[in-house]
A = this chain, B = another copy of it.
Amino acid sequence: MSLYSETPSAALLPSGFSDLLPGEAEAEARGIACVMEAFSRHGYERVRPPMLEFETSLLNGSGSALSTQTFRLMDPSSHRMMALRPDMTTQIARIASVRLQDAPRPLRLSYSGSCIVIGTPGREADRQVSQAGIELIGPDSAQADAEVVALGATALEELGIKGVSFDLSMPALALGLIESAIPAADQDELIQALNRKDAASVAELGGPIAEMLAVMLQAAGPADRALDMLASLDFPVGVRPHFERLVASVAAIRERAPSLRLTVDPVDFRGWQYHTGLCITVFSTTSREELGRGGRYVAGQEPACGLTLRPQALLRAAPVPPARPRCYVPVRLGGEDMAALHAQGFATVSALEADADPAAEARHLRCTHFWRDGAVHAL
């Protein structure tokens, strides 16, 4: 019996899951290797958590925000529910606060791997999502925020991605302002209006802070202009530190990455599920997709800041790396000649029998070169 009995219907994949074919798969692997190398060079050490864990550990604490996106499985061994990871940050937080609790701080960890999300029926989006990221665990400072952003920018630069923009937000700023001035029962409607950037409703629902919120809505854009506009606002004492920290983090990022495009949206709370401070979204002018996201959160008992890049999105934004030239070689080419071809950067594609017309066979096998009479010939 054959290993795969071809029928067209059997070959369909569930929506959101796909094959990467030659070229695509190589580009993804190279892209991940490139960003992981950048992380490693800056002292971030790789960890590799498993694809699944017990539900109680994977959806622990604020990780439960991802509960509705998580596939579950019964473990026949323990009779407990396991869950496929929808995200790796909870796992890194677990490793930092349990397995590496005695490792020195600041603790710098990197990771890459696939996550699986349930998705939204009818919406065509990836449900197997590659991640490659960093977490900086221990310090809570503008310098720590800046290291994470600057290293993310370095990794994207090394991939050759142009026009990168880091979009910063600080949900606690607007949320704190709203909590200080608006009755609890009315807060949700106002937050929805801000999420829609609906200035008319914000004016109507904003009560005593309507004018401040209007300025915050208008401020969204390039970081320097945004911070200038926010500086004119009279934030309550309990909220003002969030603004000051945003200013400090932007200044620290500027110092490390002076040419990086930074924007600030002071009324962005969408999609931030476990973050407590600065939130980061990464875009590029060469792509409409989000290339990554991250920000500040609490890992176990400790402050932490992280950034997760999405290799699938990076590939669509990055220039295509040149393919390795392929040289068709005879079935019994000697080891030295083979090694010399590899040293020149060729992939060798061996004949499996004696061959009357190596040029034709090389062309058939999509080679760029072939070997004859002791030398390489281009096709």
- Name A residues whose Cβ lies closer than 8 Å to a Cβ of B: 1-6, 8-26, 28-29, 33, 36, 40-43, 45-54, 56-57, 60-63, 71, 73, 75-78, 80, 82, 84, 89-91, 93-100, 104, 106, 108-109, 111, 114, 116, 118-119, 121-122, 128, 139, 141, 143-144, 147, 255, 274, 297-301, 304, 324, 326, 331-332, 342, 346-350, 352-353, 364-366
Chain B residues with CB under 8 A of A76: 118, 121
Chain B residues with CB under 8 A of A352: 106, 139, 141, 143-144, 147
Contact status B1-A274, CB under 8 Å = yes
CB-CB nearest in chain B for A302 = B2
CB distance from A335 to the nearest CB of B (A): 9
Chain B residues with CB under 8 A of A33: 33
Contact status A350-B42, CB under 8 Å = yes
CB distance from A92 to the nearest CB of B (A): 9
Contact status A47-B71, CB under 8 Å = no
Once bound together, how far apart are the Cα atoms of A147 and B56, in whole Å? 47
CB-CB nearest in chain B for A98 = B11
Chain B residues with CB under 8 A of A25: 45-48, 111
Contact status A14-B347, CB under 8 Å = no
Contact status A8-B350, CB under 8 Å = no
CB distance from A276 to the nearest CB of B (A): 9
Chain B residues with CB under 8 A of A46: 22, 25-26, 29
CB-CB under 8 A for A301 and B15, given A29-B46, A43-B349, A116-B52: no
CB-CB under 8 A for A51 and B93, given A61-B1, A77-B121, A141-B352: no
Can you give 27 contacting A-B residue pairs, CB < 8 Å?
A: A2-B93, A2-B300, A3-B61, A3-B89, A4-B60, A4-B93, A11-B99, A12-B54, A13-B50, A13-B53, A14-B54, A16-B77, A17-B53, A19-B47, A19-B99, A21-B47, A21-B95, A23-B45, A25-B48, A26-B45, A41-B347, A42-B348, A42-B349, A51-B128, A52-B128, A73-B73, A104-B366
Chain B residues with CB under 8 A of A41: 342, 346-348
5 further A-B pairs in the complex, CB-CB below 8 A; given A3-B298, A5-B60, A16-B77: A5-B61, A12-B54, A20-B49, A41-B347, A84-B84
**A26 CB contact (under 8 Å) in B15, B40, B116, B122:** B40
Chain B residues with CB under 8 A of A45: 22-23, 25-26
Can you tell how many copies of this chain the complex includes? 2
CB-CB nearest in chain B for A128 = B50
- 9 A-B pairs with least C-beta separation: A22-B45, A43-B349, A4-B93, A2-B298, A17-B50, A20-B48, A25-B48, A5-B61, A11-B98
CB-CB under 8 A for A43 and B348, given A73-B73, A128-B50, A128-B51: yes
**A353 CB contact (under 8 Å) in B12, B143, B331, B353:** B143
Contact status B332-A255, CB under 8 Å = yes
Once bound together, how far apart are the Cα atoms of A48 and B299, in whole Å? 32
CB-CB nearest in chain B for A112 = B29
Contact status B128-A14, CB under 8 Å = no
Contact status B50-A18, CB under 8 Å = yes
